Amino acid sequence: MDRINAPWEMERKLLIKAEEETDARFGCKPEERPLKDYVRLGIVNLDKISGPSSHEVTAWLKRLLDISHAGHGGTLETSFWEAGKSQSDRCSTRSFGRCD
C-alpha cells in the first residue's frame, strides 16, 4: 500500500469572505491573556518519562500547579513490565510484577 497524507501533512489555504476590524475592547490574543487565564486555558506539551502512567503524570502536574483539574490527550500506556513494577512498588493487590 502507498503512503497516505497524514492530517499534519495537509496544506490549507485561507479564503477571505469579508473583512472587518476587530474591537480591541473585547477578548485578547491567546498569548496576551492575563496569567490566571493563560494557565486556566493552557496546555503543557509534556515529555512523559517511562515508569509512571499517563494518569499519574497528569495528577502530578495538577498538584504542582495547584489547579482544580487537568486532563491528558491520548493515554500513553505503560508497558506490562513497567505497570508491574510501579504497582509492586505500591504493593497493591493487583500487582503484576514481583512484590519485593
Place of cell 513490565: 81
91 binds other proteins (CB under 8 A): no
Neighbours of 78 (CB within 10 A): 20
89 binds other proteins (CB under 8 A): no
92 binds other proteins (CB under 8 A): no
94 binds other proteins (CB under 8 A): no
- CB-based contacts of 10: which residues, under 8 Å, 6+ apart? none
81 binds other proteins (CB under 8 A): no
79 binds other proteins (CB under 8 A): yes
Residues 14 to 33 in contact with other proteins, rule: CB under 8 A: 14-20, 22-23, 26-31, 33
Nearest by Cα to 62 from 85, 46, 83: 46
DSSP symbols for 74-92: S--PPPHHHHHHHHHHTT-
Which residues form the interface with other proteins (CB under 8 A)?
1-10, 12-20, 22-23, 26-31, 33, 35, 38-50, 54, 57-58, 61-62, 64-65, 67-80, 82
